[in-house]
Amino acid sequence: MSTDTSSSRVRRDRTHFLYLAVIAAVLAGIAVGLLFPEVGKDLKPIGTGFVNLIKMMIAPVIFCTIVLGVGSIRQAAKVGRVGGLALGYFLVMSTVALAIGLIVGNIVHPGAGLHLDTAAAAAGQKAASGAASEGLSDFLLEIIPDTLFSSVTEGDVLPALLVALLVGFAVQAMGRSGEPVLRAIGLLQKVVFKVLAMIMWLAPIGAFGAMAAVVGETGVDALKSLAQIMLGFYVTCAIFIFVILAVILWAFARMNIFSLLRYLAREFLLILSTSSSESAFPRLIAKMEHLGVSKPVVGITVPVGYSFNLDGTAIYLTMASLFIAEAMGDPLSIGEQISLLAFMIIASKGAAGITGAGLATLAGGLQSHRPDLVDGVGLIVGIDRFMSEARAMTNFAGNAVATVLVGTWTGEINREKAQAVLAGDLPFDESTMLDADDDETRTPEEEAPAVATRES
């Protein structure tokens, strides 16, 4: 069956109705905030309630995804040099993407001047002074939970992260006998993500309340700040792809980024229509093999990259954090930004889930550093849909470049064939794609079973 049929099935995914509902809710919230400011302010508890539901899911999402992520590292390590190179590259590029998000955010200052909640800002300053007075030793001791399970049930982010890492490495050390534990946590993750998916169907209501409240409080200034962060995010993604990735690709593989993107043009159109890089996953595998990268390299790099190489998501997390802090009237200090970056390097792997896991990771980062800012996540819900396409396409471009680079470093790429393919002399034959039934059932989890599911 043709790929177009497969693509049409993807487009009929019910989550697209959710996206449309969120957009309608945002527009309705803006209208209420502008026309009836006092009514808009009174709707703030609706947005707060939705954020509280997201906060409820922070610890379970981080625990499951980090444990399974450590398991996938074990799997990649089994295949030796290819897995090691891929994981090392993913770690470096995730850090670069996070750092770029912080740099641009500090230049643009999205959300500056809104001062949505002066009470929250005052609470944040008090909390910051309290944290400084308690000392490093007290902070480190607070990371250790009372019990192994209380870290998940009490909702404290850093203890949950610590326990997840300990459990992950413990299961890894068990070898094959630890695989049933990974399968059990994988099933638990499915339950957690199912609950999160149910909560996300309330996103239109939460977006409506949050948007009406913020526009009611600040008027047109809110719309200007929202447009500023969206434009800043688009520009940052473009810089990352056409400058950072382009330089790296040319320096190590002598390949032009524009030629590679043109070769993958149909996949980018598919991502644009679905707002998810997952929809192009099977096609990326087929096209990378057609480009001349060996099957083993493609089979390892692409699936693991879909969970560990989320450059667009990394940029989004850091810029959204800075935006919320600026909008709440109490910007993050340089020290807080650096510690947040360190947290996101690990926890951003937890953003590799279904829609909503990114919000949970964002809320988790703020909860661990500045709990007074978590309510600002409600504002991000309203504009998240408008940034999802750029986020997904940046993730996809990053994984395509990573596959070529790993193939180059391991000598597992046919350079003559790659040049012919990019020049158009060897066009991709759509008939070589998998049968539609296989195409729809193959997922990155089946390529690398311990790798968590992904988000755009």
Quote the pLDDT of residue 91.
Answer: 85
Architecture of domain 3-447: Orthogonal Bundle (1.10)
Rounded distance between C-alpha atoms, residue 241 and residue 234, angstroms:
11
Confidence class for position 74, pLDDT limits 50, 70, 90: low
What phi, psi does 353 have (nearest 5°)? -120, -160
In the chain, the N- to C-terminal Cα span, in Å, equals: 26
Q: Among 215, 158, 241, 179, which Cα is nearest to 382's?
A: 215
> What is the percent of the chain where pLDDT is above 90?
14
pLDDT for residue 257? 95
Measured distance CA(315)–CA(104) in Å, rounded: 10
- Confidence band (pLDDT; 50, 70, 90) for 407? very high
Mean pLDDT in residue range 11-40 = 79
| pLDDT, position 358 | 67
Share of the chain above pLDDT 70, in %: 77
- Are 110 and 232 spatial neighbours (Cβ–Cβ below 8 Å)? yes
Q: Among 112-126, 180-194, 262-276, which range has the highest average pLDDT?
A: 180-194
Burial group, residue 138, by CB count within 10 angstroms (0-12, 13-18, 19+): exposed
Work out the pLDDT band at 298, boundaries 50, 70, 90: confident
Q: Report the distance separating Cα 117 and Cα 325, nearest Å.
A: 11
**What's the CA gap between 189 and 185, in Å, rounded?**
6
| pLDDT, mean of residues 423-442 | 59
Residue of 99 and 193 predicted with greater confidence: 99
